[in-house]
Amino acid sequence: MDNKELQKANARLVWRIVAIAVLMFGLGFAIAPYYDAVCSYFGISGRVNEASSEQTMQVDASREISVEFVSVVNGQMPLKFRAETSKLKVNPGQYYTVNYYAENTSDKKLVGRAVPSISPAWLSAFLKKAECFCFSEQEFEPHKERKMPVRFVIDPAVQADAKEMTLSYTFFDITEKSQTIKN
């Protein structure tokens, strides 16, 4: 190969490799939405975010699953957050309502978002919520307590060896964020 040809060949190869690098950079970002999709497709995200309309199901009274309710506040958020009961035995197919309470202990208005998590994760697909405070942002006036109901059912299709599950909510402080968005 003479020099001109070699330089042309080099340049071609360089641009091909650069294209791969750029593609991989983009792929990293593309994976972000895809990641959520894969996790929910396999039912491993441990979250249920959408409301499912209340439908009547065959109640299976022969089985009892014990559901634990956990409440967590992330970081320094000045919120007293608790569930009215820590544990409930439920029959698959039956709807239940459990109330969570949160009190703003500061002098300022707070905006929070509760992120649910279900463990073990593979049971998350069977827990259906008709109503939940986790579907939207929650506002808390200073020094006020609010009652926030969760209405849910466990699908009777749940596997027979499911005996226990935990539903946990973590409250994140998004006061600043929601203000910057509004302004």
Q: Which two tokens stand for residue 48?
A: 């249920």
Nearer to another protein, 54 or 72 (CB): 72
Least separation in angstroms between residue 159's CB and another protein is: 13
Least separation in angstroms between residue 106's CB and another protein is: 18
For another protein, the binding residues (CB under 8 A) are 1, 6, 9-10, 13-14, 17-18, 20-22, 24-29, 31-32, 35-36, 39, 42, 44, 46, 74, 113, 115, 121-122, 170, 172-174, 177, 180-181
Residues 175-179: contacts with CB under 8 Å, at least 24 apart: 175/108, 175/109, 175/110, 175/111, 175/112, 177/111, 178/111, 178/137, 179/111
Q: In whole angstroms, what is the distance from residue 84 CA to residue 69 CA?
A: 9
Nearer to another protein, 30 or 157 (CB): 30
Nearer to another protein, 13 or 157 (CB): 13
The pairing of beta strand 164-173 with beta strand 65-73 = parallel
Least separation in angstroms between residue 113's CB and another protein is: 5
Q: Which two tokens stand for residue 106?
A: 């500061």
